[in-house]
Structure 1
Amino acid sequence: MRALLWLLVLFVLATLLALLAGNNQAVLTLYWSPTRAIDISLNMAILLLLGLFLLGHAVMRGISSLIQLPKDARRWRIQQKERALHGHLLDAMSHYLAGRFSRARQAGERALRQEESLNGQQADPRDNVPAAQRLPYSTQLRALTHFIMAESSQAMQDGAQRDQHYAQALQAAQDTRTDIGVETREGIQLRATRWAIEDRQPAVALERLDALPQGTGRRVLALRHRLKAARQLGNTDLALDTARTLARHKAFTPEAGRVLVGRLIVDQLRSAFDLDQLQRIWMRLDREERAWPEVALAGARQLVSNGGTAAQARAWLLPVWERVAAGEETLTSTQRSAIVAALEPGLEDIDGDWLQRIEAAYQRYPNRADMQYLMGMACMKRQLWGKAQQFLSQATHGLQDEPELRRNAWRALAELAEERSDAAAAQQAWKQAALVR
């Protein structure tokens, strides 16, 4: 459609030109001294002037092209060198990703030599175009090349070359006067932190992380590095705070974050060397964290080992026991059995409230072996021998997957048999306890 419109426009212009030129009878007279005169039509004069203008324009364009030809050739050579530079850099990245670290360093060296040659050619004073306008990202490119070579050196366990290229990469990134230069420098520093973690130098990693700007230090990648360094250093407090921050930022799945934080809390509780420190650690925990089974168990066991009372240990286990008594399906049988085993040592001085809790849980789940075991041990501590034997006998049939509790149940039955002077039953019970694996 557009071509048809242009064709119509050309026909209209040709028609108008034919009408104007065909009816134009004007004559142009040129007087030539002294007595000569030249008569030409006005149309011819216009055509001659137009032809002279086009000829002059063509001559000027030709001269300009001849003058510009050396500069164009120079620009072409610069373009070819720039393409070669990019090719070497891409080769270095490809070799690094493929695990060919020696070849990656060689390609990086070629890229650096090409960049130096390119900058030397751009510095020619005969060139009117400033070098900064031709390759404005030269410093950033040099920083990335040194970074790839440093990464390759790290993979080859060449610490000297790695540190050298790392320093040159930082210097090149600092020379880049743009926002992307700042990002490049911070990214290189973060990668250097990972190198320190890989080399089992957590103190160096934390020092480099502390040197980062505040905003960069709060990034998920920086927090992950801080967590790894803190765990390598054995700084459980720092690792726990960092893990909580990562969990809030949703750096892990909810379950993975809970497991990680739970393990760190358990490590922190186990590191308490006295009762006061253990209680301070416990009070700093959230209510939700105290209700986690592994945390409550670790805290109660550490409390007893540090001289705490069984009543206080039961208080720490109460939130988890309520979940056990409610039959919460998120708790595994191993966790329920561990809670029962943790409550067993203090059954001799258990108060009425706890006894009611145990009886209520048994009445709600009378067929559960762990409840039968706990009721049996409670009755045994209160010298209710008949009920204890009944509950423990029932429990031995259901504790097939819990060897520790099953072994303890047979031992308790053996002691009960000895208490009533039944040597045959006691011997049989001791034999069953010894056979539990």
Structure 2
Amino acid sequence: MRAALWLLALFGIASAVALFAGNNQGTITVFWPPWRVDLSLNLVLLLLFAAFVLLHLALRGFSALFSLPRQARQWRLQQKERALHASLLDAASQLLAGRFSRARKAAQAALAQERRLAALDARLPQALQVRVMAHLLAAESAQALQDRPARDAHLQQALNESADRGALGTPETREGVQLRAARWALDDRDAPAALGRLEELPQGAQRRTLALRLRLKAARLDRRTLEALETARLLAKHRAFSDSAAESIVRGLATELLSGAHDPAQLVRAWAELEPWERDLPEVAIHAAQRMVALRGDLALARAWLLPVWERSIQHPDALGESLRVKLVRALEAGLDSVDADWLSRIEAAQRNNPRDPNLQYLAGMTCMKRQLWGKAQQLLTQAGLGLKDTNLHRRAWQALAQLAEGRDDPDQAQAAWKRAAQTENP
């Protein structure tokens, strides 16, 4: 369609020129004494047009001729700029390929080329970021080569280059350098230095997933369990881990926090630092109760911590694994001397509702033994001793039966029970 329109336009122009030129009888006379020259008006117009075209072409030619030096300079600068970017890309590629010496040489070559461009007064718009990235690549290569002095030197230069917050893109570049510095400090097992680098970040950058991951590792390395736990909670909220992984990490940190308590008051404070859903974790509650027993604290409070886990294990027997059920029984057994009537009724009701569970038989038997119900204790412990899989509980059940037999002055039964306890293999 466009070609057809152009063709029609050309036909129109040709027709107009033919009409004008064919009927134009005008002449132009040029007096140049002693000559007189008569020229057709059409010829004069054609000569003027040709002169204009020639003048325009001449001016364009002179302009191109005089711009050759400037174009040559721009071409040379462009080649240098391309070489700079090629060196920078080569450094990144060599670093990814694990050729750290070549990566460092390429990064240093990029820095040298940028300095040459700056000396020619031809600074790039991204010169600042180019220098920072080149120093960062060189520092990363030096870190891989265990050349810490060179790494620190390039790192400081990168930080100095990115210190100007008014430059375009500088904040993100500087934050990236600080995050890499924190990572290198972690590689050196220097947790305080890593945490210090992370503290230098802006508040928004400190809450990014990468920064939180680094903070979690540094806090765990520096044994700042509470800070690590808070960081793990933020990471779980940001969906940085799967649900199972987040629960496992939080569970481990909560257990570590409770283990760091050295007296009952510290243990209570550590328990108060936990979130409600963390206290409901069976491993955490059982460990807290065990720590309270080990620290000779308030056993009633320990049983209160265990109550949600106990109710869950009774309502859903398969909710807890065998090892957790054993730990729960051991934690409750440690406080049987001061157990109240409510817990006695809970233990008896649980054993009646599930009479074939050896763990409940053992716990109920030890409870009856503490209450001097010798006959029922012997019956329950004998049944438990035949069904328990945990070696410690199995040994303790037969030891209790031996003590009951000695209390009845039955040396044969006592000897047999002691023999069964001694034959239990150590775990």
**TM-score normalised to structure 2 length:** 0.92
- Deviation, 1:72, is 0.7
Query: What is the letter of the counterpart of residue 243 of structure 1?
Result: A
Query: What is the letter of the counterpart of residue 415 of structure 2?
Result: Q
2:392 corresponds, among 404, 407, 421, to 404
- Deviation, 1:329, is 4.1
Trace 1:154-303 onto structure 2 (pairs within 5 A).
Answer: 154-175=143-164, 177-303=166-292
Q: For residues 16-63 of structure 1, what are the alpha-carbon distances to aligned partners after superposition, in whole Å with 9 as ceiling and x for unaligned? A: 4334433x3232312213364433333322222111111111100000
Change in Cα spacing, 1:417 to 1:7, as seen in structure 2 (3 Å) is: farther
Which residue number corresponds to residue 127 of structure 1? Answer: none
Secondary structure of 2:393's match? helix
Change in Cα spacing, 1:78 to 1:143, as seen in structure 2 (3 Å) is: same
Which 5+ residue runs of structure 2 have no aligned equivalent? none
CA contact (8 A) 1:89 1:145 kept: yes
Which residue number corresponds to residue 13 of structure 1? Answer: 13
- Between 151-160 and 270-279, report the one with greater CA deviation: 270-279
Which residue number corresponds to residue 367 of structure 1? Answer: 356
Which residue number corresponds to residue 90 of structure 2? Answer: 91
Which residue number corresponds to residue 308 of structure 1? Answer: 297
Query: What is the letter of the counterpart of residue 240 of structure 1?
Result: L
Which residue number corresponds to residue 30 of structure 1? Answer: 29
Change in Cα spacing, 1:20 to 1:435, as seen in structure 2 (3 Å) is: farther
Give me the whole-angstrom Cα distance separating, in 2, the residues matched to 1:384 and 1:26: 144
Q: For residues 93-133 of structure 1, what are the alpha-carbon distances to aligned partners after superposition, in whole Å with 9 as ceiling and x for unaligned? A: 11111111111111111111111122223x2xxxxxxx34x
Secondary structure of 2:163's match? helix
Q: For residues 358-413 of structure 1, what are the alpha-carbon distances to aligned partners after superposition, in whole Å with 9 as ceiling and x for unaligned? A: 1222233333232222222222222333332333333334433x222222223233
Give me the whole-angstrom Cα distance separating, in 2, the residues matched to 1:136 and 1:177: 14
Change in Cα spacing, 1:28 to 1:119, as seen in structure 2 (3 Å) is: farther
Q: For residues 243-293 of structure 1, what are the alpha-carbon distances to aligned partners after superposition, in whole Å with 9 as ceiling and x for unaligned? A: 223223332222222222222222222211222222222223232222211
Secondary structure of 1:157's match? coil
Which residue number corresponds to residue 112 of structure 1? Answer: 111
CA contact (8 A) 1:86 1:111 kept: yes
Query: What is the letter of the counterpart of residue 6 of structure 1?
Result: W
CA contact (8 A) 2:293 2:334 kept: no
Query: What is the letter of the counterpart of residue 227 of structure 1?
Result: L
Change in Cα spacing, 1:179 to 1:117, as seen in structure 2 (3 Å) is: closer
Give me the whole-angstrom Cα distance separating, in 1, the residues matched to 2:19 and 2:352: 116
Q: For residues 287-307 of structure 1, what are the alpha-carbon distances to aligned partners after superposition, in whole Å with 9 as ceiling and x for unaligned? A: 222221122122112212222
CA contact (8 A) 2:29 2:36 kept: yes
CA contact (8 A) 1:223 1:246 kept: yes
1:427 corresponds, among 412, 415, 418, to 415
Give me the whole-angstrom Cα distance separating, in 1, the residues matched to 2:393 and 2:11: 106
CA contact (8 A) 1:104 1:152 kept: yes
Change in Cα spacing, 1:418 to 1:26, as seen in structure 2 (3 Å) is: farther
Secondary structure of 2:37's match? strand
**TM-score normalised to structure 1 length:** 0.90
Which residue number corresponds to residue 126 of structure 1? Answer: none
Give me the whole-angstrom Cα distance separating, in 2, the residues matched to 1:41 and 1:363: 131
Change in Cα spacing, 1:373 to 1:193, as seen in structure 2 (3 Å) is: same
Give me the whole-angstrom Cα distance separating, in 2, the residues matched to 1:13 and 1:421: 135
Give me the whole-angstrom Cα distance separating, in 1, the residues matched to 2:155 and 2:185: 13
Give me the whole-angstrom Cα distance separating, in 1, the residues matched to 2:307 and 2:141: 55
Which residue number corresponds to residue 413 of structure 1? Answer: 401
Q: Percent identity?
A: 52
- Between 152-161 and 301-310, report the one with greater CA deviation: 301-310
- Deviation, 1:354, is 0.6
- Deviation, 1:141, is 0.2
Change in Cα spacing, 1:326 to 1:46, as seen in structure 2 (3 Å) is: same
Secondary structure of 1:174's match? coil
Q: CA RMSD in A?
A: 2.2
1:76 and 2:65 are equivalent in the alignment: no
Give me the whole-angstrom Cα distance separating, in 2, the residues matched to 1:167 and 1:116: 18
Give me the whole-angstrom Cα distance separating, in 1, the residues matched to 2:84 and 2:382: 82
CA contact (8 A) 1:220 1:246 kept: yes
Give me the whole-angstrom Cα distance separating, in 2, the residues matched to 1:69 and 1:313: 89
Give me the whole-angstrom Cα distance separating, in 2, the residues matched to 1:305 and 1:63: 98
Secondary structure of 1:206's match? helix
Trace 1:36-55 onto structure 2 (pairs within 5 A).
Answer: 36-55=35-54
Give me the whole-angstrom Cα distance separating, in 1, the residues matched to 2:330 and 2:164: 65
- Deviation, 1:92, is 0.8
Q: For residues 74-99 of structure 1, what are the alpha-carbon distances to aligned partners after superposition, in whole Å with 9 as ceiling and x for unaligned? A: 11111111111111111111111111
CA contact (8 A) 1:146 1:168 kept: yes
Query: What is the letter of the counterpart of residue 83 of structure 1?
Result: R
Which 5+ residue runs of structure 1 have no aligned equivalent? 124-130
- Deviation, 1:151, is 1.0
Which residue number corresponds to residue 393 of structure 1? Answer: 382
Query: What is the letter of the counterpart of residue 7 of structure 1?
Result: L
Give me the whole-angstrom Cα distance separating, in 1, the residues matched to 2:52 and 2:232: 79
